[in-house]
Amino acid sequence: MKTILKISLLTPAAVLMFIADVPPELPAPYVQLVPEAHAVFGVRRRSFRRGVVIGETAAASSAQHSQQSATAQQQATTSQQQSATAQQQSATAQQEAATAQQLGRAAPPPPPAAAGKPLPVGTVVSALPGGCTSTPVGGVEYYYCGGTFYRAVFQGNNLVYVTAQPK
Amino acid sequence: MATANSRMVAALFALGALALSGIVSTAARAQAPAVDPAAVQILKRMTDYLGSLKQFSMHTQINIEDLLASGQRIDEDVAASVIVSRPNKLRAERKGGLNDQNFYYNGKTLTLYNAPANAYATEPAPGTIEGLLDYARESLGLIIPASDLVYRNAFQLLMQDVTFATVVGKAVIGRVKCDHLLFSRPGVDFQVWVADAGRPLPCKYVVTDRGNPGRVSITTVSSDWNVAPEVTDARFTFVPSKGAKRVTFMPPDAGSTPSR
């Protein structure tokens, strides 16, 4: 009986020791917290896409196209461009996206006076607000939405819209 | 009672020996050469073979793990196909929830076409595929599908800063028996599966971001390899349809915030 007890105690103990033995398997030199965001591996691409996904979610969750939420989207988009490490980048993207979502939810309906107020030129949004009319000016298609002109551009792989002054 | 005590001593000794063997084996592993030449050789056989091809086409299914701000993981699926005709022609298509886009490179210009918006941008491009991939990434912020494998010097790029390499074992992927390799470099682990008989084609590869606490990965499974695809010039030049809107690329660093 005692033997059985000892075996039943020893076996888990041995198993535990082997488990505890696993972590030091990673030699110290490559346990690093700062990743190298080498484009050949697409690590940057993933972070980049993450920003876009959440940016779009934020855009969808925000029924209002107030300046506030547009700015939040712009921040989320801008966070994609941060070219520090992938870790920093994704952390930033998440923070920005969280901010964007909060702002999107908290954004009050735009006051009638502010609705027609144009956004600063160069603001990037991931989707056009509703109710746009499109006009070609000098070979470029412009979208006129709520007092603001936009034009489509590729920001990396993604088609986005940037506020512009038709010329 | 004395017997029980001696048994207890023996048991303790056994435990101590186990613990000691654990320490010794860890020390032995830490001292073992971290880069296994066998793994490097298989990787090189694969990259040399791909680099030797004048032309090829393939299909890839890409899974991108993504962490939401809530900590939940979602996976994005992207299907991409690539046709390469060295030295200066490439066509790629990428389809997924986030992107539906085509790339055309004919040795002179690069066009990115976004089908849902019927919008495209065309830029003058360098004269080789390698130059194009660098230019697209660095100057346009554009990542072309499967570019890791398309580089002729893929071996140098993949092996750069590698601190660890090993042959994990065998696997069967898409009915092909493959060698499973694991490599590490600062911040990044990558696994490559290479067909172990016949043409040494890549079956699959996984890149894991070690800097991310969620250790998220990008998984690419390749299939439908063709080393004699149709490579007429027309396939690599974009012809805009009626009503297609020409747009521009925003420089990657062009932000709309003053801090940038």
Nearest to B243 by CA among B124, B91, B113, B129: B113
Six-digit token string for A160: 């986005």
Q: Do residues A42 and B143 lie in contact, with contact meaning Cβ atoms separated by under 8 Å?
A: yes
A155: closest chain B residue by CA: B250
Mean pLDDT of successive 10-residue segments in chain A (167 residues)? 64 55 35 30 41 35 39 40 34 36 32 52 88 87 90 91 87
Among the partner residues A2, A27, A40, nearest to B34 by beta-carbon distance: A27
* Residues A21, B25: C-beta atoms closer than 8 Å: yes
pLDDT at position A1 is 57
pLDDT at position A93 is 37
pLDDT at B199 over 60: yes
pLDDT at B89 over 60: yes
Q: Do residues B62 and B80 lie in contact, with contact meaning Cβ atoms separated by under 8 Å?
A: yes
- pLDDT, average across residues B220-245: 94
Domain B37-246, architecture per CATH: Clam (2.50)
CA distances in angstroms from B166 to A90, B36, B37, B208, B259, listed in the order given:
29, 5, 8, 16, 44
**Count of Cβ atoms closer than 10 Å to residue A133 Cβ:** 8
Six-digit token string for B170: 């065998």
* Residues B209, A87: C-beta atoms closer than 8 Å: yes
Which of B210, B216, B220 to mutate: most A Cβ within 10 Å?
Answer: B210
CA atoms within a 13 Å half-sphere pointing along the CA-CB vector of A19: 6
A134: closest chain B residue by CA: B245
The per-residue pLDDT for range B124-165, each reduced to its tens digit, is: 999 999 999 999 999 998 888 888 889 999 999 999 999 999
pLDDT at position A130 is 87
Break chain B into its structural domains and give their ranges: 37-246
Q: Do residues B218 and B207 lie in contact, with contact meaning Cβ atoms separated by under 8 Å?
A: yes
More confident residue, A88 or B209: B209
Among the partner residues A34, A154, A157, nearest to B187 by beta-carbon distance: A34
**Count of Cβ atoms closer than 10 Å to residue B118 Cβ:** 13
What SS3 state is found at B171? Answer: strand
Instruction: Work out the minimum CA distance from B160 to partner chain A, whole angstroms.
Output: 10
Instruction: Say if the ipTM goes beyond 0.90.
Output: no
